[in-house]
A and B are shown apart, each in its own frame.
Chain A
Amino acid sequence: MKKIKWFLLIGITVSILFSCLIIATTAEMTAEEIILKRDSNEYFDTAQMEAEMIIVSGGRKITKTMLILSDKRNALIEFTNPVDRGTKFLKREDDLWMFFPDAEEIIKISGHMLNQGMMGSDFSYQDVMEADKLTDLYDFEIIKEEEFEGRPCYVLEGIAREGVKVSYYRRISWVDKERFIGLKEELYTKSGRILKETKANVIEEIEGRWVPTNSVMENKLRKDTYTEFTITQIKFNLEIPEETFSLQNLR
């Protein structure tokens, strides 16, 4: 009996120590480590997805569907809904090209248009096609820890690195402590004005990584408007031929 008590005591002590060690390890994570874990979870070498974008304004709704192919630096989007069918966008690093299906012409889009809403949505072309890792663009620090919709989160503030071209000067991210995925993000101008807020509504584990398959982007400058983005199908790390992200492939 004494032996059993002794083993129980050792067991409890080890468990407590082990739990403390885990808590200490996660608590000691730096902002950079958290964002790196988020980047490694959310960013991929290549991906192919089918997606749906629902633009809501007041009581009206418009749905657009698309196919997206992307790698670390480039993205190709083809719209498939009737109104926009065949319209394609190619983003190569900082350059954006558009294919108009009727006249089958390819036009280079001016840089200032990257910040416009993509096809009338609250997502800008830059939001959808941004391929850079957050750690390459922003310096982060942990500002607090709190729960967001029942999930414990790190709350991090990112300030754009000097000399780096970004759409939002400051961003505040709620990163899930267990799954290392952004659950909510607020995007600000340099003057401190909030521009947009994005929330991940549905998160699924696909091919071993957590993916926000339904998210909402709200333009905070406008009333009663948001865009819901749903990934209906996604495949990671496919072999995408080099010529996919080329002008010849837009034709």
Chain B
Amino acid sequence: MITKKYFNIAILFMIFFILGSITISAKVDIGGEINASLVVILDNQENLSAYPQGSLDLELYIPPFDNNQIKSAVYLYPNPSTGQLDFMFKKLYLKHKFDKLHLTLGRQPISWSFGSMLNPVDFTLGSVVMDEETGSKYQDAIEAYVPLNWNSSVSLIAAFPEGSQDIKWGLRGRTMIEGYDLTLNYVREPEIDFMGTIIPASQRIGFTAKGDLGPIGAYGALGYYFKDNDNGNLAYLIGGDYSYFFEAGNNIYFQLEYLSMKKDNLSSILGPFFAGNVTNNLNENIGLILGMVNYEIDEFSQINLMAISSLNDGSVIIIPGYRNQLSNNLSLNLSTAIYFGKEDTLFGSNVSEGAQQKPKGMIEIGLTYSF
């Protein structure tokens, strides 16, 4: 078995070997984004604290050659636990497009998003809306993608997740019928050692659909989760989106979705930030409602408001945001998060002992420069 430790090194050597043995006549370019922001937190004791935050995304743009594609993207950030500059490869892969098969080897993003804000049947579970924080979609993996026609394909993935010596498998089929984008997928998660806690092996089968119902965009997902020697359980998501155009030419975009699933599986959907509260006084089945409104003020600026609520305990997170593109390469971003809920509720700021503490609210204001 290939161990994960040597996987990236092997890919790096392969890329250097290929780069050295071919002539790339086209221009190689480098680009990315610099982010600088100030985060202000209001904690449980109503104390305010603030700290600066910065990061750099760097990507090397190598033009495709002879049906080959090389991608390399690295994320540099100050590690809060060590205080040192740290980095994470988002992409370091080699793709070769054979006639009937596209083979991708290396660190790569694997995302099975279909347009929802939460995705209970993604390859790597973790809320789509919160995934920027975890980066969990970037995996060391081998992907075999077989295109069947312009809109249909089958892909097989073997990934090497952190905390496991076993392979994580994924299989996804995608097609379009009567204007609906349909996917059917299967994932086999290996047993994972997460900071000393053993997460047992599990499997899931998922189905998603997205299309239009008149003027409304509609989508849904159905997942079946099961483990060895355990009863399976279902999860489902339904949602829709709609645009309204004002007489002044501006438009407002709405998105609303509902997710129902067993609480045991919810922590993997919401990510580690909320995992502590999931085991608290919640019913066996959890219903989450998510809403988003995005209003375009003018060509360069927009405000948005997102809210996530647990229907079981009434706790809510409200996330207002504002974005303004100041110039060709510079944008101003403002985002806040306010938590409402009693003690031990899913999104409440006060949690039981042992769970990750959450503040009452936070605000982040920052600038992003693209180059």
With contact pairs A55-B299, A102-B109, A110-B241 given, residues A248 and B217 touching in the complex (Cβ less than 8 Å): no
Interface centre among A55, A92, A248 (most CB of B within 10 A): A248
- Selected from A92, A115, A225, the residue in CB contact (under 8 A) with B299 is A225
Within 172-200 of B, Cβ neighbours of A (below 8 Å) are at 174, 176, 179, 181
Report chain A residues within 8 Å CB of B216. 110, 112
**Is the pair B114, A110 in contact by a Cβ cutoff of 8 Å?**
no
**Is the pair B150, A81 in contact by a Cβ cutoff of 8 Å?**
no
**Is the pair A219, B111 in contact by a Cβ cutoff of 8 Å?**
no
Closest chain B residue to A122, Cβ basis: B299
Question: A245: CB under 8 A from chain B?
Answer: yes
With contact pairs A82-B370, A104-B111, A105-B113 given, residues A246 and B151 touching in the complex (Cβ less than 8 Å): yes
With contact pairs A116-B243, A121-B299 given, residues A219 and B249 touching in the complex (Cβ less than 8 Å): yes
**Count, chain B residues at interface, CB 8 A:** 50
**Count, chain A residues at interface, CB 8 A:** 42
Question: A243: CB under 8 A from chain B?
Answer: yes
Report chain A residues within 8 Å CB of B147. 243, 246-248
A157 CB to closest chain B CB (Å) equals: 23
Question: A151: CB under 8 A from chain B?
Answer: no
**Is the pair B153, A247 in contact by a Cβ cutoff of 8 Å?**
yes
Question: A190: CB under 8 A from chain B?
Answer: no
Question: A19: CB under 8 A from chain B?
Answer: no
Question: A11: CB under 8 A from chain B?
Answer: no
Question: B331: CB under 8 A from chain A?
Answer: yes
Query: What 0/1 readout, one digit per residue, does chain B (145-176) give for beta carbons within 8 Å of chain A?
Result: 10101110100000000000000000000101
Tell me the dominant secondary structure on chain A's binding face.
Answer: mixed
Question: B242: CB under 8 A from chain A?
Answer: yes
Residues of B whose CB lies within 8 Å of any CB of A are 31, 61, 90, 102, 108-109, 111-115, 131, 137, 145, 147, 149-151, 153, 174, 176, 179, 181, 210-212, 215-217, 241-243, 245, 247-251, 253, 296, 298-300, 325, 327-329, 331, 370-371
Given contacts A82-B328, A117-B299, A243-B147, 16 further A-B contacts (CB under 8 A): A62-B325, A83-B370, A85-B61, A103-B131, A108-B114, A108-B181, A110-B216, A110-B217, A112-B217, A120-B296, A219-B249, A221-B247, A246-B149, A246-B150, A246-B151, A247-B147
9 CB < 8 A contacts A-B: A57-B298, A82-B328, A85-B61, A112-B242, A117-B299, A193-B247, A221-B249, A222-B248, A247-B174
Residues of A whose CB lies within 8 Å of any CB of B are 55, 57-58, 60, 62-63, 81-83, 85, 92, 94-95, 102-105, 107-108, 110-113, 115-117, 120-122, 193, 195, 219, 221-222, 225, 242-243, 245-248, 251
